[in-house]
């Protein structure tokens, strides 16, 4: 088994709002291994983005990490001061977002933005820096780099803009990249190109990739292991193939059933009910109000993740008693 790169243990990140405390990430634990592509999947509001922001320690106010451990290469990131974290961001851990504009500054051209990243961490000559910028733009497939580097973000199409954001994130060759719904805002054909690019870059640079999405199709294409989140909790962790064939958590089975399949006449199932309010989440298993298998116990204590077969973890009291359908059934 590959070495562990990132180890999240018992992470709790809450938002202290006027309406109450939003328990966005509540006791989340999982690992990211060296060089792997891990999927982080769950419906909107399940805590995927807040988990990634917590690792980078960029949770916006009124959010706060209240408990847990985030070990990266054996060091606890929660023990680091802001200067030490700044040195980690970009160089060790980077992130790209759904909207590439949010990682780019509209008032500077691409050359300036990439140069700022490079020079903040490395002492290199102007000429070396220029060469690196051109190399980076070539790496992410932006043609005519020498001309385009002088252009501003608004002069790029959505797909090209995301490539610039990827170039910026990868400028310092991080060991770990979080890609938070990186293709959701793009056209379908461009989506596939950006996903291919990410896969290629991951291999080339030997980094680990955490692919955040609610799209089970992207998970199947891009990842080898998956963490399923529901309402701020982890409900299942498994190898991607295993998860598709033998989901053990009722929520995972519903996510799989909701994937539209072109080759099937199967009707798209919508997961009934809504994501719960995270200020006063349901007691016990947070999925119980929506779960067709729930028993009395489910509303009492939250189930903990247990390993039900090698590399397959599930947090559900009933996993032994229920038989769930995988994708091919």
Ligand X SMILES: Nc1ncnc2c1ncn2[C@@H]1O[C@H](COP(=O)(O)OP(=O)(O)OP(=O)(O)O)[C@@H](O)[C@H]1O
Among 47, 153, 247, 250, binds ligand X (CB under 6 A): 47
Which does residue 276 bind out of ligand X, Mg ion, ligand SF4, none, counting CB within 5 to 8 angstroms by kind?
none
> Quick one: which segment of 19-27, 183-191, 217-225, 280-288 binds ligand SF4 (CB under 6 A)?
280-288
**ω into residue 72 within 30 of 0, thus cis?**
no
Give the whole-angstrom CA distance, residue 210 versus residue 39. 6
Q: Which two tokens stand for residue 73?
A: 């290469």
Among 50, 110, 218, 298, binds ligand SF4 (CB under 6 A): 298
Nearest to 260 by CA among 211, 325, 216, 212: 216
Which does residue 291 bind out of ligand SF4, Mg ion, ligand X, none, counting CB within 5 to 8 angstroms by kind?
ligand SF4
Rounded to 10 deg, the angle between the 110-121 and 158-170 helix axes is: 10
CA angle 25, 285, 281 (to 5 degrees): 55
> Quick one: which segment of 42-50, 141-149, 244-252, 303-311 binds ligand X (CB under 6 A)?
42-50
> Quick one: which segment of 19-27, 130-138, 186-194, 291-299 binds ligand SF4 (CB under 6 A)?
291-299
Residue pair 100/158 in contact (Cβ under 8 Å)? The answer is yes
Q: Is 251 in the site for ligand X (CB under 6 A)?
A: no
Which residues, 6+ apart, have CB-to-CB distance to 176 below 8 Å? 5, 6, 32, 72, 92, 93, 94, 207, 208, 209, 210
> Quick one: which segment of 12-20, 85-93, 115-123, 289-297 binds ligand SF4 (CB under 6 A)?
289-297
3-state secondary structure of 237: strand
Rounded to 10 deg, the angle between the 126-139 and 110-121 helix axes is: 120
Q: Is 276 in the site for ligand SF4 (CB under 6 A)?
A: no
Cα–Cα distance list, 148 to 2, 41, 114, 130, 279 (Å)? 39, 35, 12, 13, 47
Q: Min. distance of Cβ 47 from ligand X in angstroms?
A: 4
Q: Min. distance of Cβ 260 from ligand X in angstroms?
A: 18
Q: Min. distance of Cβ 43 from Mg ion in angstroms?
A: 10
Q: Which two tokens stand for residue 327?
A: 């994708």
H/E stretch holding 271 reads: none
CA 205 to chain centre: 19
Q: Is 214 in the site for ligand X (CB under 6 A)?
A: yes
Q: Min. distance of Cβ 307 from Mg ion in angstroms?
A: 28
Strand partners, 22: 15
Q: Which two tokens stand for residue 154?
A: 């608004």
Binding mask 230-269 toward ligand SF4 (x if CB under 6 A, else -) reads -------------------xx-------------------
Tell me whether residue 95 or residue 256 sits nearer to ligand SF4 (CB atom).
256
Which does residue 294 bind out of ligand SF4, ligand X, Mg ion, none, counting CB within 5 to 8 angstroms by kind?
ligand SF4
Among 13, 37, 49, 213, binds Mg ion (CB under 5 A): 49
Q: Is 17 in the site for ligand X (CB under 6 A)?
A: yes
Q: What is the largest CA-CA distance in the chain?
A: 68
Q: Min. distance of Cβ 180 from Mg ion in angstroms?
A: 6
The sign one gets for the Cα dihedral 53, 58, 64, 69 is: positive
Q: Which of residues 310-329 bind ligand SF4 (CB under 6 A)?
A: 316-318
The residues binding ligand SF4 (CB under 6 A) are 249-250, 285, 287-288, 291, 293-294, 298, 303, 316-318
Summarize as ranges the residues that interact with ligand X (CB under 6 A): 15, 17, 22, 24, 42, 44-50, 60, 63, 214, 278
By CB under 5 A, name the binding residues for Mg ion: 49
């Amino acid at each position: 088994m590959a070495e562990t790169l990132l180890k999240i243990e018992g992470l709790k990140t809450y938002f202290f709002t006027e309406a109450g405390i939003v328990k966005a990430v509540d006791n989340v634990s999982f690992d990211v291994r060296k060089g792997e592509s891990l999927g982080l999947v769950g419906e909107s509001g399940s805590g995927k983005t807040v988990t990634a922001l917590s690792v980078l320690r960029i949770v916006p106010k009124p959010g706060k990490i209240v408990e847990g451990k985030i070990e990266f290469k054996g060091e606890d990131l929660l023990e680091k001061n802001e200067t030490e974290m700044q040195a980690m961001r970009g160089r060790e851990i980077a992130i790209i977002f759904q909207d590439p504009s949010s990682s780019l500054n509209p008032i500077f051209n691409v050359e300036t933005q990439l140069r700022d990243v490079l020079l903040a961490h490395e002492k290199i000559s102007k000429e070396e820096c220029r060469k690196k910028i051109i190399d980076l733009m070539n790496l992410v497939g932006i043609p005519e780099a020498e001309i385009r580097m002088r252009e501003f973000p608004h002069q790029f199409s959505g797909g090209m803009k995301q490539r610039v954001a990827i170039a910026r994130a990868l400028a310092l060759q991080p060991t770990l990249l979080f890609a938070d719904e990186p293709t959701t805002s793009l056209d379908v054909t461009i989506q596939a190109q950006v996903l291919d690019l990410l896969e290629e870059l991951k291999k080339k640079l030997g980094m680990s990739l955490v692919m955040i999405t609610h799209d089970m199709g992207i998970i199947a294409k891009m990842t080898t292991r998956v963490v399923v989140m529901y309402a701020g909790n982890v409900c299942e962790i498994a190898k991607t193939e295993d998860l598709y064939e033998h989901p053990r958590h009722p929520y995972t089975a519903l996510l799989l059933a909701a994937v539209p399949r072109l080759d099937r006449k199967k009707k798209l199932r919508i997961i009934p009910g809504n994501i719960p309010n995270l200020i006063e989440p349901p007691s016990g298993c947070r999925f119980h109000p929506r779960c067709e298998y729930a028993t009395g116990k489910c509303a009492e204590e939250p189930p903990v993740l247990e390993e039900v077969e090698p590399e397959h973890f599930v947090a559900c009291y009933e996993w032994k008693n229920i038989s769930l359908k995988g994708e091919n059934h």
